[in-house]
Structure formats: C-alpha cells, structure tokens
Amino acid sequence: MALFARSRRRAAGIAAAALVALVALIPLSGAAAAGKPLPHPQPRPEAPGSAVASALLRPSSTHRYLGLAQSGVPQQADLLREAAGRIGKTPNLLEYYASFQENFNVQATRNAWNQGALTLLTWEPFTVPLADIAAGKDDAYLRKFAGQVRAANIPVALNFGHEMNGFWYPWGTRNKASDFVLAYRHIHQVFDRVGAKKVVWVWTANIVNHIPTVKLAPLYPGDAYVNWIGMSGYNEDWEHWTFGDVFGRTVAQIRTFSRKPLLIAETGVDATADQAARISDLFSYVAASHDIIGFVYFNYNQRMDWRFDADPASGALAAFQQGAASLQFGFDVRNSAAHG
C-alpha cells in the first residue's frame, strides 16, 4: 500500500497499520541504519534470476512490461481474459498479493504464463517477525514454498515485504533496517539451497516524497540479491503532479546505490475529471524512461477509485487502451523466455 494512496485489502493489514503508526517517528537503528556493514558475514548467493532469461530480466529498449493488479487476476483465467478484452491486449505482468505462510499459487502462475504473462507475487509477512525469518525459524515453510516454485518450473517475480520504508506495515520502520535486509537475504539463500532458480527477485520501496527522512540504501539487500528495484507511488489529483514528479526523487535516490532495472510495481490515478490525461502521462513517462522496464496498474476501488474502467464515458479506459496499443508495451514473455 502506498502512503496516501489506498487502504489495505486485509483486516490484518489495517490492524497492523494502526499499531505501527504509533511508532512511525522512531528512527531506524542498527548497523544498516547507520550505513555500516551488517554484523555477520553473509554466504555469497547465486546470481539472482540465474535461470531466468535475460530478455525477461532486462527487456530491450523497445519493450516495456504492461502490468495489472486486479481482483481475481491471474487466479481466475476467465477474469484475466475479460481484463485483456477490455484493454485490447493481454497485460504481461500480473501482480497479486499473498500473506507469508500461504502456499505458492501454482495455478495462478500457470494461468498467467499460458496467456504470455509473468506473475509478480507480492509476499506480505503480516504475522511473522522479520527477525524470526532471518534467524531461520520459518525455514520449514520457506523450503516448502521454494519447492513448490521449483516444481512449477515457470518464472515468477517475487516481491517480498514491499514498502518497507513506510510505517504502515508491520515489516516497515518499526524494525531495524538490518532486520529487513537479513530476512530478505535469508529467503534468497533458502531458495538457492532448494534449487528454486526461476525467480526474478524484486525489492520495492514506497516513493520517498512523503517520507524523505527514511533513506533507502540501508534497507537494500544488495545487487547480489536483487534483479529489479520496484517503486510504489500514486498520482492523486490534489497534488497536481506529473508522473515525473511522482517518481523522480525516488529514482534519483535509488541511483546513488544501484543501477538495477526499475519497475513501477504499483501505481494508479484517482478517478477525477483529468484521469484520462494523467493515464496518458503515465504511459508517456514510462516510454521515455530508459531504465524503467514497465509498470503495474492497481485497478482497484480502495479508499479512492483507481480503476481506469469504472466509467467508460470518462475517457480513462480509452486513454489506457491507447497507451497499451503501443508496440512498446506488452510482449509475450514466453517468446522472450525462449529466445532470451
């Protein structure tokens, strides 16, 4: 959930956000928060995404991911087909959310892949402390989950603990930065040991605009553990921002510590009179940004109505269709996997 963007789908998330808001002003602490090395040497991981085609990890300059997050997609194949019909093209990056301790949804991943799309699984540890994950207390679950990913034998993008630089999630700034880094690295190491290698490792921060005092570098696991750096940020009418304004400061800060490909992992435009124009600006911004490999549109009605297809008369759907029609957006990931 991006700050000032939407409310959480889950009651657990709402309760957690209320609790952690009480400690929102507590500064990050520990070695990572101070920019110092973490206290214990970490085993050198295998290269992230080592079994994923390079054309998926870093698409060509003429290709961008056209992503969608929408209820029931990609879990239900018929809803995916309906969404593709409305857009006029099948989105090729499909995001859904799962709590830590849930099983890997193999069917959702197959549904996406069968339509030429990659799944982006945003994995949320609502009830599991980061320190416990890092200490190996959840390894039985992690081994099982990684085994399911390996058995599926289909590439999947895994986005653990998104928006960790915010205070609204229990894995956010109530923890030391090193807690998050060690947990992320440990998950990666378990997947390595299990042999689950068809994973695109995603690290997603909330845009820094409203939380400038929380620096991103101490929260970053390192290039050896990450394939894509994601950003969550929304364009709300009252702020009068372009998409360059939404993401520019965050991109600049990220580029001080990594050159990994950037993905807008969550975004949306609230349904106001100029929604269509701002959706067009989203497509233009991503198309002109050489190191942004695509975006995922959060097509939900939560706190605000972000849906581009809620009112066809508004012009928002037509603007999305026009942007998606560009050959630059959307490509069959199966072809890229075969030739990449």
Residues with catalytic annotation? 163, 266
Give me the residue label for tokens 């709402």.
14
List all residues 6 or more positions away from 21 whose beta carbon is below 8 Å from its beta carbon: 167, 168
Q: Three-state DSSP class for 229? A: strand
Contacts of 315 (CB under 8 A, 6+ apart): 275, 276
CA distances from 1 to 13, 64, 189, 286 (A): 10, 23, 27, 21
CB atoms within 10 A of CB 24: 15
Burial of 258 (0-12, 13-18, 19+ CB in 10 A): middle
Distances 74 to 107, 113, 167 between C-alpha atoms, Å: 9, 9, 29
**Cα–Cα dist 258/216, whole Å:** 11
Residue with tokens 């994950």: 133
Q: How far apart are CA 102 and CA 327, in angstroms?
A: 36
Q: Give me the residues paired with residue 323 across strands.
A: none
Tokens of 3: 């700050």
